[in-house]
């Protein structure tokens, strides 16, 4: 481990080069812009810019690209908070409390909390990478299909019962999500499902299109109905908002630590930042004493998902480097980059390319500090956007949403789909069906089904594979506990009422 510190020190010398620092700032700014535009995700951004980096040294190139990635992770929160439109899949959970805060005129606080927790999550993940990289890689290898399914199961269970709506509506919404996730090619049999001969449906329903439509367009429709008024007080613009928010954040240390653990774990396994953010939000709602107020603009509801998302996004780079398995779509594109620069990700990378690996890890530390400084200075600026009249900003949002939907697959049909999802989102909101379970099911439905069927294939159809070893049984056990927890806590509170002290 001492070796790691010496290597890291060398890494800082490489990452601290003025040219590399400049690349960091450029990368973060580009990333924030990419993160703000829904649809143009980190993966797309990195893919577009990848060819530009071929003339740089591999270390400089990965610093630039990974900083775009950090920037996108930071930037995804901005539109979630301001307009209820998640800029990135992992910031969907940030909308639940972030947007209500903005409506109460606390956009500055919400953004500060989001950025700061992102930073905390990432920082903890980097420290973990520095200290225990080899151990973590070994842990990730233990995850076969059954273990992966158990993780998804836990994500779903920790989410059920978190919405204010009746459980039946939650389940209906989740089932619609599963049905939509099933459209397209069935990976296990290689057959098309539910496409009804429409070529447009070959790719299934992209999660981003659904999110942009359900949240973005749905929200605009609702606001229009309420008379073209922005449903929020104009935020007071005050540079001190950052400091004031910081003063309150240490109160949520328990939520932060919990979210960091969830995030690191989900990033390594690799399930990714999106399930991590949902899971952290769901668990925080259960455990926190402010849990009842979640969804009404509770700052803790912003801290939990943002910390987890960033911790997961950062730790996702570890399996990519150590095993060659990308933990996120963006990591997948970076992986392609590594190969072009002549670096083979895998167990030998840490041995043979020390300079590159530790240069990258050092740049994660510096990049995140630079990133935090850059985005925090923009808080008052972004909060000021809410002062623009709705009738001007709404068309702009619509156009950005349409561009975003188009960019996902370069397909006009997706823009139409987005509008359909928008109307569905509006109808669901009016009838009190929660959107979040639907979104969660679209995101994880495919992967969960795949893992479930892979497990059954390898066990010859026996369901006992889900408690075949201590690791998988523990995760499944936690999932079941999370599922029945509301019943238990209900029963316990009833017991307490029944036996007055």
d(CA 385, CA 428): 28
CB of residue 51 to other proteins, shortest distance in Å? 5
Which residue lies nearer to other proteins by CB, 336 or 432?
336
Secondary structure (DSSP) of 127-148 = HHHHHHHHHHHHHHHT--HHHH
d(CA 213, CA 180): 14
Asked if the peptide bond before residue 24 counts as cis, ω within 30 degrees of 0, the response is no
CB of residue 79 to other proteins, shortest distance in Å? 24
Q: Which residues, 356 to 415, sit near other proteins by CB under 8 A?
A: 409-410
Where are the alpha helices (H) located in 185-252, listed in sequence order? 207-211, 218-225, 241-248
Which residue lies nearer to other proteins by CB, 184 or 297?
184
- Report the DSSP beta bridge partners of residue 191: 186
Phi, psi of 474 (to 5 degrees): -60, -45
Options 93-101, 325-333, 357-365, 477-485: segment touching other proteins (CB under 8 A): 325-333
* Residue 427, token pair as written in the block: 């109808």
d(CA 499, CA 174): 38
Which residue lies nearer to other proteins by CB, 192 or 369?
192
Rule CB under 8 A: choose which of 105, 144, 161, 291 binds other proteins. Answer: 144
d(CA 44, CA 30): 12
- Angle at CA of residue 366, ends 365 and 367, nearest 5°: 95
Site string for other proteins, 443-472 (x = CB under 8 A): -------x---x--xx-x------------
Given a contact cutoff of 8 angstroms between Cβ atoms, the answer to whether 276 and 312 are in contact is: yes
Options 20-28, 154-162, 286-294, 334-342: segment touching other proteins (CB under 8 A): 334-342
Q: Does the footprint of other proteins cover residue 348 (CB under 8 A)? A: yes
Given a contact cutoff of 8 angstroms between Cβ atoms, the answer to whether 293 and 284 are in contact is: no
CB of residue 348 to other proteins, shortest distance in Å? 5
Q: Does the footprint of other proteins cover residue 318 (CB under 8 A)? A: no
Which residue lies nearer to other proteins by CB, 55 or 431?
55
Q: Does the footprint of other proteins cover residue 190 (CB under 8 A)? A: yes
Which residue lies nearer to other proteins by CB, 458 or 489?
458
Which residue lies nearer to other proteins by CB, 143 or 358?
143
Given a contact cutoff of 8 angstroms between Cβ atoms, the answer to whether 81 and 114 are in contact is: yes
Phi, psi of 156 (to 5 degrees): -65, -45
Q: Which residues, 252 to 281, sit near other proteins by CB under 8 A?
A: none
Q: Does the footprint of other proteins cover residue 340 (CB under 8 A)? A: yes
Q: Does the footprint of other proteins cover residue 47 (CB under 8 A)? A: yes
Given a contact cutoff of 8 angstroms between Cβ atoms, the answer to whether 116 and 298 are in contact is: no
Q: Does the footprint of other proteins cover residue 168 (CB under 8 A)? A: no
Site string for other proteins, 20-39 (x = CB under 8 A): --------------------
CB of residue 303 to other proteins, shortest distance in Å? 31
- Angle at CA of residue 163, ends 438 and 74, nearest 5°: 70
Rule CB under 8 A: choose which of 31, 213, 263, 326 binds other proteins. Answer: 326
d(CA 387, CA 102): 11
CB of residue 353 to other proteins, shortest distance in Å? 11
CB of residue 103 to other proteins, shortest distance in Å? 37
The number of residues that bind other proteins (CB under 8 A) is 52
CB atoms within 10 A of CB 439: 25
CB of residue 172 to other proteins, shortest distance in Å? 27
Q: Does the footprint of other proteins cover residue 329 (CB under 8 A)? A: yes
Among 136, 146, 156, which Cα is nearest to 473's? 146
Q: Does the footprint of other proteins cover residue 228 (CB under 8 A)? A: no
Q: Containing H/E element for 341? A: none
Sign of the torsion angle spanned by Cα atoms 110, 114, 115, 119: positive
DSSP 295: T
Rule CB under 8 A: choose which of 6, 171, 254, 339 binds other proteins. Answer: 339
Binding residues for other proteins, rule: CB under 8 A, are: 43, 47, 50-51, 54-55, 140-145, 184-192, 195, 199, 202-204, 323-326, 329, 332-333, 335-337, 339-340, 342, 344-349, 409-410, 450, 454, 457-458, 460
């Amino acid at each position: 481990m001492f070796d790691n510190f010496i290597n890291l020190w060398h890494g800082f010398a490489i990452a601290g080069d003025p040219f590399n620092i400049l690349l960091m700032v450029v990368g973060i700014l580009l990333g924030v812009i990419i993160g703000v535009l829904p649809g143009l995700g980190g993966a797309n951004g990195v893919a577009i810019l990848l060819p530009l980096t071929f003339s740089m040294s591999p270390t400089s190139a990965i610093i630039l690209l990974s900083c775009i990635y950090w920037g996108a992770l930071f930037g995804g929160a901005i539109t979630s908070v301001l307009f209820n439109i998640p800029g990135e899949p992992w910031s969907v959970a940030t909308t639940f409390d972030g947007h209500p805060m903005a409506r109460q005129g606390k956009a500055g606080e919400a953004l500060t909390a989001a950025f700061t927790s992102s930073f905390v999550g990432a920082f903890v993940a980097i420290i973990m990478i520095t200290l225990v990289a080899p151990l973590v890689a070994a842990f990730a290898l233990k995850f076969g299909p059954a273990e992966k399914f158990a993780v998804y199961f836990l994500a779903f269970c920790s989410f059920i019962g978190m919405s204010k709506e009746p459980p039946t509506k939650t389940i209906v919404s989740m089932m619609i999500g599963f049905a939509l996730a099933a459209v397209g090619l069935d990976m296990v049999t290689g057959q098309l499902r539910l496409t009804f001969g429409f070529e447009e449906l070959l790719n299934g329903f992209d999660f981003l299109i659904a999110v942009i439509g359900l949240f973005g367009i749905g929200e605009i429709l609702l606001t229009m109905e309420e008379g073209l008024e922005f449903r929020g007080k104009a935020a007071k613009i005050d540079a001190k908002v950052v400091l004031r928010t910081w003063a309150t954040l240490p109160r949520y240390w328990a939520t932060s630590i919990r979210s960091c653990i969830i995030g690191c774990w989900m990033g390594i396994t690799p399930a990714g930042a999106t399930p991590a953010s949902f899971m952290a939000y769901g668990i925080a709602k259960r455990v926190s004493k402010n849990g009842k107020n979640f969804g009404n603009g509770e700052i803790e509801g912003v801290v939990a998902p943002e910390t987890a998302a960033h911790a997961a996004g950062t730790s996702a780079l570890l399996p990519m480097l150590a095993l060659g398995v990308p933990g996120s779509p963006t990591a997948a594109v970076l992986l392609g980059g590594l190969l072009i620069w002549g670096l083979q990700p895998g167990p030998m990378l840490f041995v043979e390319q020390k300079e590159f690996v530790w240069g990258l890890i050092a740049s994660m530390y510096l990049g995140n500090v630079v990133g935090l400084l850059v985005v925090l200075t923009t808080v008052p600026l972004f909060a000021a956007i809410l002062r623009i009249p709705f009738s001007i900003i709404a068309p702009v949002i619509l156009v950005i949403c349409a561009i975003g939907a188009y960019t996902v697959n370069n397909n006009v049909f997706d823009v139409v789909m987005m509008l359909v999802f928008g109307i569905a989102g509006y109808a669901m909101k009016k009838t009190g069906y929660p959107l979040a379970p639907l979104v969660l099911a679209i995101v994880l439905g495919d992967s969960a089904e795949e893992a479930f069927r892979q497990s059954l294939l390898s066990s010859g159809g026996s369901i006992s594979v889900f408690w075949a070893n201590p690791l998988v049984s523990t995760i499944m056990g936690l999932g079941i506990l999370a599922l029945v927890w509301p019943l238990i806590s209900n029963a316990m509170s009833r017991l307490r009422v029944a036996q007055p002290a």
